[in-house]
Amino acid sequence: MADLDLPNEITTIVLSNLPVKSLLRFKCISKPWNSWISSRRRQGAIAWNSWNSTLFFRFINQQLTLDELNYTSSDDDIYLLSCSLLGSCDGLILINRNEHIYLWNPTTQFYTKVLELDRLNDDGYSIRGGLCFDSSKNVYKAVLIMRHQTPDYGGEFVIVTSLKDKRWRTVKFPYDICSVCDGITLHGRLHYRLRVKKKDESMWDSFGPCKV
């Protein structure tokens, strides 16, 4: 029988609309399908919120529109509700549990441990995170904005590392760390929402750890 010769664009879009159970089954269709499915990612950042102990994810693509993410949890999963979600980029999510940091692809449900930081075990820290891709060095970088509730103990600082060399470096952060709310990665830069006390409203500003 002749090959249907379906253009790759079509296969890619069809696969991105399939639930995880079907994807796991279709990995054995052929080698090209297996590699498509295994390397599959959605473009864009991911936003999440939890409701009644269920996590909801949404993709935010470059056109700033929202897409639902079909995520069905299975028993083998890392137990997401006991993790904190640090950031997302290119359809990948950075997750932290105890001192470990994992990179998770919710589309394929594959995850892998990428970093470790003892200070994450200290409950005294409130942490904002971020993940972005440094195209000049071809590496993913993780950012942690950390603030200890006892000021003398740990203080406030922002650290960055690439997932490749795994060496944390302190970087300057141009805003009051206490004012940082949530963040998102778009167009290759991290954006954080900041609480501006005077005007009683919030603002967004971007921060490029790739530049430091």
Binding footprint of other proteins on the chain (CB under 8 A): 1-4, 6-7, 9-10, 13-15, 17-19, 21-22, 24-31, 33-34, 74
Give min distance, CB of 26 to other proteins, in A. 6
Give min distance, CB of 77 to other proteins, in A. 12
In the complex with other proteins, the residue whose CB is nearer, 33 or 133, is 33
Q: What is the dihedral of CA 143, 149, 154, 160, to 10 degrees?
A: 0
Give the separation between CA 62 and CA 14, rounded to whole angstroms.
Answer: 20
8 Å CB contact between 119 and 154: yes
In the complex with other proteins, the residue whose CB is nearer, 6 or 64, is 6
Give min distance, CB of 73 to other proteins, in A. 13
In the complex with other proteins, the residue whose CB is nearer, 5 or 201, is 5
With a CB cutoff of 8 Å and minimum separation 6, the contacts of 191 are: 183, 184, 185, 204, 205, 206, 207
Looking up tokens 């509730």, which residue turns up?
Answer: 149
Looking up tokens 């290759």, which residue turns up?
Answer: 188
In the complex with other proteins, the residue whose CB is nearer, 32 or 124, is 32
